[in-house]
Amino acid sequence: MTEEGRALLTDREKEIISGEADVSDNYRYKVESTVRNRVRKHLGEDVEFLREHFPEVYEMAVGEVCDDAE
């Protein structure tokens, strides 16, 4: 899969987290931890970068997240 094919989660991560994939509990926890750390460590930095350098995409991202949160 290319980077154009995902935003935050890969298709495989979605399968594992949703329980659709037949993986061990330990592996599921590892994937969940990886995603959690990705959000915690990088999402905020990326959003701030977009705000400063690519405001059009920043507004798109904020709109997607905020519209879904309601």
Asked whether residue 4 is assigned to any structural domain, the reply reads no
Global pTM?
A: 0.76
Asked whether residue 2 is assigned to any structural domain, the reply reads no
- Print the domain residue range for 55: 9-69
Q: Which residues of 35-59 are buried (b: 16+ CB within 10 A; e: fewer)?
A: beeeeeeeeeeeeeebeeeeeeebe
Dihedral in degrees, nearest 10, Cα atoms 36, 37, 43, 48: 140
Query: Each residue of 12-70: pLDDT tens digit?
Result: 999 999 999 999 999 999 999 999 999 999 999 999 999 999 999 999 999 998 976 55
pLDDT of residue 46: 94
Asked whether residue 35 is assigned to any structural domain, the reply reads yes
Asked whether residue 1 is assigned to any structural domain, the reply reads no
